[in-house]
Amino acid sequence: MDIAKLDRFMQARPAQEEGVRWLAPFEPPLVLEGFAFFEQDGAYRRLPLDSDAVFSRAGRAALTELGTNTAGGCIRFRSSTGRVLVRARLAAACAMHHMPSTGQGGFDCYLRRPGGAWRYAGPSVFGHGETAYTAALWSGGDREEKEFLIHFPLYMGVKEVWVGVDADASVAAPAPRAVSGAAAVYGTSIDQGGCASHPGMAFPAILARALDVQIYNFGFSGNACLEPEMADVLARVPGLRLLVVDAEANAGPLGCLGRLPAFLARLRAACPRLPILVVSAPLGPLEAQQPDRVAQKDAWRAAQRDAVEQARAGGDANIAFLDGRTLWPDGGEEYTVDGVHPTDLGFYFMARGLLPVLLPYLTEE
């Protein structure tokens, strides 16, 4: 069945490009965020180019490949345009079995009118198998100047992207972030954004909008293994005010959670005053189905709490632990796609639980 033939509202319509001016995300007045090493490397990737050889020697080439996924990247600007388009060239075709292409390889758009809050404006809709597309993100039509926020894909590399606006529209720099500097989240597929329906629903993106702060996404699907080389990369992120470490869902099952104390010590040696928040994994539907998993998660949670308490006992006052059970207090029965990876609803509750915890770190000068 071809649903597009039966339901015209599910068709991927070609974008109307007449009268469009195309802008590069990295050229002012547009502001490109979420790529900590773009200034030195000029590439839409999360890890620096000089780390490729380091991870390869360590047998961790998977991190280099995942580092080309653009989770956390975003473009900000103000404009009087009545429409916003993207023209993108992806690294590959979308082919995930449990995550829509709008989240894996799509961009999305939010807009904020003067004095208002961020509102979802729309995703990029494109054909199955396409690796290059032009899509309309928003076609509201009104010409009031407003602020736009475009998120990059979560599980895809982006070779090229351009932003389209009305040719006669004003374009200006966005309002400064309410919070200077940046935060970063290091962790697993959940942190990377699997399986949000569109990029703005990954919990780091939700938090970035709510806190009005730049948040770097260092979620590495299936590969949050607390390597010393990764600690070295995180220590290089410019302007970092807070680092969230959320590695249990990978490091626990893969048997490398024992690296956490050394990982934290290496970070602390490089960043003596950086606030670090270690977050354990929430209990989810699989624990309800397999009660023996609860005992295992209890042990992993205790190991992380002990690592933080050990660091604090050694004089580190800038490290804390958050029990992830508080993020899905009812067990997350309806919050995941497959018992592990959150839906948009699951991400919403994670962000809601993390927001009051992160806020003090980012409002104290």
Q: pLDDT tens, 290-327?
A: 888 899 999 999 999 999 999 999 999 999 999 999 99
pLDDT, position 183: 98
The third-level CATH classification (topology) of the domain covering 182-363 is: Rossmann fold (3.40.50)
Say yes or no: do domains 18-35+70-172 and 182-363 share a fold: no
Question: Using 50, 70 and 90 to split pLDDT, how confident is the model at 364?
Answer: low
**Is there a contact between 44 and 187 (Cβ–Cβ < 8 Å)?**
no
The position carrying tokens 């703005």 is 200
Instruction: Return the structure tokens found at 71.
Output: 């989770």
- Could you tell me which residue, 193 or 1, shows the higher pLDDT? 193
- Per the confidence metrics, is the pTM higher than 0.85? yes
Of residues 339 and 118, more confidently modeled: 118
Residue 133: what pLDDT?
A: 97
Q: Is the pLDDT of residue 285 over 90?
A: no
Give yes or no for residue 102 having a pLDDT over 80.
yes
pLDDT reported for residue 103: 98
pLDDT score recorded for residue 13? 65
Q: What is the pLDDT of residues 234-266, one digit of tens each?
A: 999 999 999 999 999 999 999 999 999 999 999
Find where tokens 């949000």 sit. 196
> For residue 365, what pLDDT is reported?
59
Region 259-279 average pLDDT:
98
pLDDT of residue 145: 97
Whether residue 288 is predicted with pLDDT greater than 90 in this model: the reply is no
Considering only residues 96 and 7, tell me which one the structure prediction assigns the higher pLDDT: 96
Percent of the chain with pLDDT over 90: 89
User: What confidence score (pLDDT) does residue 217 get?
Assistant: 99
Locate 9 and state its tokens. Answer: 């509202």
What confidence category does residue 342 fall into, taking pLDDT thresholds of 50, 70 and 90? very high
Residue 75: name the closest of 111, 31, 44 by CA.
31
Q: Please say if the pLDDT value at position 178 is more than 80.
A: yes
Which tops the pLDDT comparison, 5 or 282? 282
CB-based contacts of 226-229 (< 8 A; 24+ apart in sequence): 226/251, 226/256, 226/257, 226/259, 226/260, 226/262, 226/263, 227/55, 227/58, 227/60, 227/63, 227/259, 227/263, 228/262, 228/263, 228/266, 229/51, 229/54, 229/55, 229/58, 229/60
Query: How many CB atoms are closer than 10 A to CB 268?
Result: 20
pLDDT tens-digit readout, 52-74: 999 999 999 999 999 999 999 99
Residue 286 has pLDDT above 90, yes or no: no
Q: Where exactly are the structural domains of the chain?
A: 18-35+70-172, 182-363
pLDDT band for 6, please (50, 70, 90 cuts).
Answer: low
- Nearest-angstrom CA–CA distance, 348 and 46: 24
Q: For residues 94 and 102, give the distance between their C-alpha atoms in angstroms, rounded to a whole number.
A: 9
CA pair distance 85, 113, nearest whole angstrom: 18
Tell me what pLDDT residue 2 has. 78
Q: Please tell me which residue, 212 or 332, carries the higher pLDDT value.
A: 212
What is the residue whose two structure tokens read 């929430």?
282
Q: Give residue 9's pLDDT.
A: 65
pLDDT of residue 5: 73
The chain-wide mean pLDDT, for the chain, equals 95
What is the model's pLDDT at position 93?
Answer: 97
Q: Which pLDDT score, from 0 to 100, does residue 168 have?
A: 97
Calpha distance 288→198 (Å, rounded): 28
Spatial distance between the Cα atoms of 29 and 41, rounded to a whole number of angstroms: 20
Burial code (b: 16+ CB inside 10 Å, e: under 16) for 80-114 equals bbbbbbbbbebbeebeeeebebbbbbbbbbbbbee
Q: Which CATH class is domain 18-35+70-172?
A: mainly beta
